[in-house]
């Protein structure tokens, strides 16, 4: 039996992970499940899977969680420190699927066990990639990518020598506004941005797909995970989202990973690795699909991509500043304080102040400095947002 914990169990990735676990209950022993504030879902899953502990982030939900779990064997806990404590409980396989920078600390703690961390939380690599991968190596832990593009690259690289890799191409759906006239984008509403053409995901990542801040993070994630140079990483719009990534080798061969848009493929691959097991995902009928399309992303529609290039060039703590500024800009868009096309300028201007005023290059990356830069970038992004109003 494999012991498993799922951080962010109530979210889109978390629920897909639990779906796979519930299909084969004899194979898994659930240690910890965590959620943000959806206490009903968390308690129901923790009871159904007989978890050792259920942790809810929001302290206001703690009494309700205790109430829902009373009379069961599941322990209740609450708060971000309790989430990190839960990540220290011995466990063979941990899913990191909390959204945002809050996902870093529990993943970091889980790595100290020297087991396997399935990493859906892309912010961990974007904010702290170099120290996170070092930390994993020091503890003999395995990190498996769960983001569909990175799982695809990982799979295309099995049995290959990374030194023979010329380039990595990650595909992008182009998001909700890929076919909109450019001049309409500033007026895009929250509801319109929250509607993904291909994937069913959490609201934040869906909006990040429309702006391509998601792809921007994935470019950085690719650099950090696979250790390639930024100029080796490309992105291309592929509206069908069936090819998730391609790896180009020194001999000109391109190995593509093709699969349905169902995150249970990448999650299941990480759950079963190093073996492949039957997964409940659709088998593609290529004749019915007929054709696959590709086009280069336009810089004016997706300014986030250039910001990612600048962040990769700068390196170090710029990733933490970028993630925080992006999260803050996204909060402001969701709150209706700024327009859809204001998010990229808020992020770019925030990073400009961080480069010019704070000399980020000279600050050593540690978990503490990552947090400090995160906080500072959020404050700066709020200041810049105010100047837009
Ligand atoms: P989601 O919003 O559906 O779920 C996020 C989970 O984190 C929920 O359980 C929520 O309660 C919890 N959470 C939120 N804030 C928290 C906090 N401060 N402390 C503790 N828990 C908190 O998000 P998702 O779509 O499942 O994405 C999760 C992560 O996986 C993100 O980093 C996302 O970028 C990445 N990812 C998602 C997909 C996808 O298809 N959904 C694909 C690739 C990568
Ligand atoms: Mg992805």
- CATH number of residue 379's parent domain: 1.10.1740.10
Overall domain count for the chain: 3
Domain boundary among 80, 115, 145: 145
CB 35 less than 6 A from any atom of ligand 1:
yes
Residues 120 and 246 in one domain: no
Nearest residue (CA) to ligand 1, atom 31: 99
> For residue 115, what is the DSSP state?
S
**Distance from residue 287's CA to the centre of ligand 1 (Å):** 35
- So what's the pLDDT on residue 198? 82
CB 345 less than 6 A from any atom of ligand 1:
no
Residues 131 and 225 in one domain: no
Domain boundary among 110, 145, 180: 145
Rounded Cα gap, residues 159 and 39, in angstroms: 43
CB 11 less than 6 A from any atom of ligand 1:
yes
| 245, 358 contact by CB (below 8 A) | no
- So what's the pLDDT on residue 357? 67
**Residue 294 covered by a domain:** no
Nearest ligand 1 atom, CA 14: 26
Question: What are 254's strand-pairing partners?
Answer: 248
Rounded Cα gap, residues 240 and 81, in angstroms: 41
- So what's the pLDDT on residue 326? 97
Number of H helices, E strands in the chain: 16, 11
Residues 86 and 116 in one domain: yes
**Residue 185 covered by a domain:** yes
Domain boundary among 123, 145, 167: 145
H-state helical runs in 273-342: 286-289, 304-314, 318-334
**Residue 271 covered by a domain:** no
**Residue 308 covered by a domain:** no
Residues 319 and 361 in one domain: yes
Nearest ligand 1 atom, CA 263: 40
**Distance from residue 118's CA to the centre of ligand 2 (Å):** 14
Residues 221 and 110 in one domain: no
Q: What are the tokens at 344?
A: 């990229």
Query: How many CB atoms are closer than 10 A to CB 377?
Result: 28
Residues 120 and 234 in one domain: no
CATH of the domain at 64: 3.40.50.720
Residues 10 and 133 in one domain: yes
Q: What are the tokens at 119?
A: 């990493």
- So what's the pLDDT on residue 112? 98
H-state helical runs in the chain: 12-23, 39-48, 62-69, 80-87, 104-111, 122-138, 148-156, 190-193, 203-211, 213-226, 263-272, 286-289, 304-314, 318-334, 343-358, 367-388
Residues 141 and 175 in one domain: no
Residues 16 and 136 in one domain: yes
Helix axis angle for 148-156 and 263-272, nearest 10°, is 50
pLDDT digits (tens, 9 = 90+) for 346-382: 999 999 998 766 677 778 999 999 999 999 999 999 9
Residues 162 and 105 in one domain: no
Residues 82 and 172 in one domain: no
Residues 115 and 138 in one domain: yes
**Biggest CA-to-CA distance, the chain:** 63
Query: How many CB atoms are closer than 10 A to CB 163?
Result: 6
- So what's the pLDDT on residue 380? 96
**Residue 306 covered by a domain:** no
Q: Which domain holds residue 375?
A: 315-388
- So what's the pLDDT on residue 201? 82
Burial 167-178 (b: 16+ CB within 10 A, else e): ebbbbbbbbbbb
Residue numbers of the chain with a pLDDT score lower than 50: none
- So what's the pLDDT on residue 160? 97
Nearest ligand 1 atom, CA 16: 26
**Distance from residue 46's CA to the centre of ligand 2 (Å):** 27
| 254, 135 contact by CB (below 8 A) | no
CB 14 less than 6 A from any atom of ligand 1:
yes
């Amino acid at each position: 039996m494999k012991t498993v914990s799922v951080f962010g169990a109530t979210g889109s990735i978390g629920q897909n992970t639990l779906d796979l676990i519930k299909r084969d209950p004899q194979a898994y022993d659930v240690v910890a499940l965590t959620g943000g504030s959806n206490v009903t879902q968390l308690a129901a899953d923790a009871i159904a899977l007989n978890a050792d502990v259920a942790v809810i982030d929001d302290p206001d939900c703690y009494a309700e969680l205790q109430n829902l779990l009373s009379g069961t064997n599941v322990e209740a806990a609450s708060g971000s420190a309790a989430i990190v404590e839960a990540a220290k409980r011995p466990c063979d396989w941990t899913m990191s699927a909390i959204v945002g920078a809050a996902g870093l600390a529990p993943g970091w703690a889980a790595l100290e066990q020297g087991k396997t961390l399935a990493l859906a939380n892309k912010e961990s690599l974007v904010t702290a990639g170099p120290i996170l991968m070092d930390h994993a190596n020091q503890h003999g832990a395995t990190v498996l990518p769960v983001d569909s593009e990175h799982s695809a690259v990982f799979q295309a690289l099995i049995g290959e020598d990374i030194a023979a890799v010329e380039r990595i191409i990650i595909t992008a759906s182009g998001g909700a506004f890929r076919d909109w006239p450019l001049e309409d984008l500033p007026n895009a509403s929250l509801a319109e941005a929250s509607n993904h053409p291909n994937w069913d995901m959490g609201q934040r990542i869906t909006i990040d797909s429309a702006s391509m801040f998601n792809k921007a993070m994935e470019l950085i994630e690719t650099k950090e995970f696979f250790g390639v140079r930024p100029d080796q990483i490309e992105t291309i719009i592929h509206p069908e989202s069936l090819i998730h990534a391609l790896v180009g080798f020194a001999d000109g061969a391109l190995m593509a990973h093709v699969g349905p848009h169902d995150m249970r493929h990448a999650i299941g691959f990480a759950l079963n690795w190093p073996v492949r097991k039957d997964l409940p995902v659709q088998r593609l009928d290529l004749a019915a699909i007929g054709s696959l399309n590709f086009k280069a992303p336009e810089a004016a529609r997706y300014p986030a991509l250039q910001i990612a290039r600048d962040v990769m060039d700068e390196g170090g703590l710029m990733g933490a500043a970028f993630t925080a500024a992006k999260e803050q800009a996204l909060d402001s868009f969701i709150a209706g304080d700024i327009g859809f096309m204001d998010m990229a300028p808020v992020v770019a201007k925030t990073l400009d102040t961080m480069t010019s005023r704070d000399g980020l290059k000279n600050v050593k990356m540690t978990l503490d400095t990552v947090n400090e830069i995160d906080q500072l970038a959020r404050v700066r992004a709020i200041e810049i947002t105010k100047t837009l109003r």
